[in-house]
Amino acid sequence: MPPFVVLPAARVIRHGRLQHHLLTPCRLVAQCCFRTSYTPPVTRQSSSSSSTRWKSRQGRDSFAREAKVRGLQSRAAFKLLEIDTKYKLFKKGQTVIDLGYAPGSWSQVAVERTKPNGRIIGIDIIPAQPPKGVSTIQGNFLSKDVQAEIKKFLNDPHRGRPQQQMHAPIAQEPGVDDPQEDVPTADKGKKLKDESGKTIDIVLSDMSAPWEQTSGFWKRSLSNPYIRMMNTSGIPFRDHTGSMDLCNAALEFSYDTLKTGGHFVCKFYQGAEDKQLENRLKKLFGAVHREKPESSRSESKEAYFVALRRKEAAKYADIFGGDGV
């Protein structure tokens, strides 16, 4: 027994007198054994029928289970993986913009396919924890100020790229010319002029309008953006027109920033206006494809435009008309 143990006292009445006796450890254990322990009642949190259906569907979904095993943020990663397998979008060292990146599965794919020195920038109105290797900007992409901030970020070709180990410069021998100086100055100036402001190799858009936030304003966590991530509203016309607005905004941004030969991928909900968007894409890109990936649920109206090889001589007025989008 430890040297300093306080044993409780028991009150006993003997011969009409109240006496106090210290309980030995064995007596104390015996008395504790006879006490009935309190078990709090089990309460079951109620959940909505839609939440129950979603959890049940996720449990049966092979893509959702596989995403969890691979450490991907969501099953949406397999949609981009399937598109890239078919069209070979990514190359090492590319600059990729992921519009509507939360929770970050498309950005994870882009990081993996462009490493070791690729540059991935995610944009989303919802605060979310960025995946490893991704630079992010939180804001409304439809805002011109946010788009200006993105372009400012991209002006520095080294900003957002993985930091490489610095080595001491190797001294050149006298008379050895720098191989970069073999390029004529006039040609370099012409190239810079033609590609001025066009710094992006691939624009990805998986945007949807988020739900209006009605609760949880006190939370300061970035680890669970799903509370406001919109799937569909249940109104097909609203979902379709909203996706058209977002795709056109992404296309206009791509016109200003996408390099010649660059690619564009955007999600849309099918409807009456998607043909007009497809025609605009054909004026700016060499080839345009509609895709419904296998990992996209069959009951969903979502589909993807995959536009390849941006044309050099496309005019803004020919694509968007005189008044723009």
Q: Which residues are catalytic?
A: 267
Q: How far apart are CA 122 and CA 206, in angstroms?
A: 11
Q: Specify burial of residue 292 (Cβ count, 10 A radius: 0-12, 13-18, 19+).
A: middle
Closest CA to 204 of 253, 155, 277, 142: 253
**Cα atoms found within 13 Å of the Cα of residue 106, Cβ hemisphere only:** 26
Checking DSSP bridges between strand 134-138 and strand 119-124, what pairing results, if any?
Answer: parallel
Helix (H) or strand (E) holding 61: none
Asked whether the beta carbons of 225 and 102 are under 8 A apart, the reply is yes
**Dihedral angle over CA of 288, 293, 298, 304, nearest 10:** -30
Residue 169 token pair:
């410069």
Closest CA to 247 of 271, 218, 229: 271
Q: How far apart are CA 271 and CA 310, in angstroms?
A: 25
Helix (H) or strand (E) holding 209: none
Q: How far apart are CA 318 and CA 261, in angstroms?
A: 19
Task: Return the SS3 of 71.
Answer: coil
Residues 6+ away with beta carbon under 8 Å from 17: none
Written as one letter, the residue type at 151 is K
Sign of the alpha-carbon torsion through 103, 210, 222, 153: positive
How far is residue 175 from each of residues 172, 179, 227, measured CA to CA in Å?
8, 12, 64
